[in-house]
């Protein structure tokens, strides 16, 4: 059953502007920490639009994320950045609009965990493929590589963003959502105010949401190092997977895999990892 929580248009606009401003500032603080390919950034600030989308709905989260990423990227490049307009804006809008839409229809914390995994995957796929195939390869004409190489680069960027964003969204967003619901009960939905983190998310479910992606990342790292998969990448896509990139690529998979698995095990072993 869909939960209804009406809020004035003026409040929606103000919250959307606040989301955009906070996201722009938060994203800019890590704007110079790139992926192994030198494009795409480390962005834990995704917790900001995730917070606004879950608490105030799809339009606030989606539009706020789209504007925030455009502002951040344009400030970084000193001009209106077309790469952001073509790729990051639609990807951020779609991902956080989808998160807000799913959570607005029915709020539970278990649903939040699943929706976070889904929307980070969808949003990052859109950004990566539009950036590589449309902006870099067509608009900017900067990549002269076979389609298969462009596909591998897009998947690599998607994985990088997903594994570096997921822990922040799952571990940081729920506590600040609960804190905001307690501080401002009049402007949030009844579901966020009344649903209990501790009662609704079994430790096993929450731990698996972190550990399973971690196991996939770790397995990919091991496959890159100890199977023909690594040689296949470095041989067939030497322009994309250079020796330096291959080293960083493996470090990314090992570090993210071990970190996510460790976080999952820590959650599983904690007596009380979430509060009401």
Q: Which of 31-40, 152-161, 199-208, 222-231 has the lowest mean pLDDT?
A: 199-208
Judge whether 102 lies within some domain: yes
Domain count, the chain: 1
Q: What is the pLDDT of residue 29?
A: 94
How many angstroms separate the CA atoms of 39 and 113, rounded?
A: 28
> What's the pLDDT band for 271 if we cut at 50, 70, 90?
low
Q: State yes or no: pLDDT of 228 exceeds 90.
A: no
pLDDT at 1 over 80: no
Strand, helix or coil for residue 276: coil
When pLDDT is averaged across residues 150-164 and rounded to a whole number, the result is: 87
* Predicted pLDDT of residue 28: 96
| pLDDT surpasses 50 at 240 | yes
**Sign of the torsion formed by the C-alpha atoms of 127, 236, 216 and 40:** negative
The CA-atom distances, in angstroms, between 65 and each of 28, 91, 135, 214 are 13, 9, 20, 26
Q: Does a structural domain hold residue 274?
A: no
User: What local confidence, expressed as pLDDT, does residue 199 receive?
Assistant: 59
Between 140-149, 156-165, 251-260, the lowest mean confidence (pLDDT) is in 140-149
If one compares 71 and 234, the residue with the highest pLDDT of the two is 71
Top-confidence residue, 7 or 23: 23
- Give the pLDDT score at 238: 65
pTM confidence score:
0.82
Return the higher-pLDDT residue of 141 and 127: 127
Does residue 275 fall inside a structural domain?
no
Whether 2 is in a domain gets the answer: no
CB atoms within 10 A of CB 182: 12
Angle, nearest 10°, between helix axes 47-56 and 89-105?
A: 40
Q: How far apart are CA 98 and CA 54, in angstroms?
A: 10
Residue-number span of the structural domain to which 250 is assigned: 9-269
Q: Please, what is the Cα angle at 120 between 243 and 159, to 5 degrees?
A: 15
Does residue 116 fall inside a structural domain? yes
Percent of the chain clearing pLDDT 90 (strictly above):
37
The predicted-structure confidence for 114-137, as pLDDT tens digits, reads as follows 899 999 999 999 999 999 999 887
Q: How confident is the model over 153-166, as a mean pLDDT?
A: 88
Residue 24 placed within a domain: yes
Digit-coded pLDDT (tens) for 182-205: 787 777 777 776 665 555 566 677
276 in any annotated domain: no
Neighbouring residues of 231: CB distance < 8 A, sequence distance ≥ 6 = none
Average pLDDT, rounded, for the chain: 84
């Amino acid at each position: 059953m869909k939960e209804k929580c009406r809020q004035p248009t003026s409040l929606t606009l103000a919250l959307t502007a606040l989301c955009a401003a906070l996201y722009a500032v938060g994203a800019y603080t890590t704007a110079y920490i790139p992926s192994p390919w030198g494009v795409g950034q480390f962005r834990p600030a995704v917790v900001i639009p995730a917070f606004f989308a879950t608490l105030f709905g799809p339009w606030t989260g989606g539009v706020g994320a789209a504007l925030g990423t455009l502002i951040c990227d344009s400030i970084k490049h000193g001009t209106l950045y077309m790469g952001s307009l073509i790729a990051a804006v639609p990807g951020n809008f779609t991902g956080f609009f989808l998160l807000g839409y799913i959570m607005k229809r029915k709020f539970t914390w278990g649903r939040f965990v699943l929706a976070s995994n889904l929307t980070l995957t969808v949003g990052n796929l859109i950004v990566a493929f539009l950036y590589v195939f449309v902006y870099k390869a067509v608009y900017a004409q900067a990549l002269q590589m076979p389609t298969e190489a462009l596909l591998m680069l897009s998947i690599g960027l998607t994985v990088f963003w997903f594994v570096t964003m997921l822990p922040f969204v799952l571990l940081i967003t729920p506590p600040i959502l609960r804190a905001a619901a307690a501080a401002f009960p009049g402007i949030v939905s009844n579901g966020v105010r009344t649903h209990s983190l501790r009662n609704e998310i079994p430790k096993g479910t929450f731990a698996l949401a972190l550990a399973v992606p971690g196991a996939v990342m770790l397995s990919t790292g091991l496959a890159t190092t100890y199977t023909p998969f690594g040689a296949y990448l470095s041989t067939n896509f030497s322009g994309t997977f250079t020796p330096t990139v291959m080293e960083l690529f493996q470090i990314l998979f090992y570090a993210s895999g071990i970190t996510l698995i460790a976080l999952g095990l820590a959650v599983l072993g904690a007596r009380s990892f979430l509060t009401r």
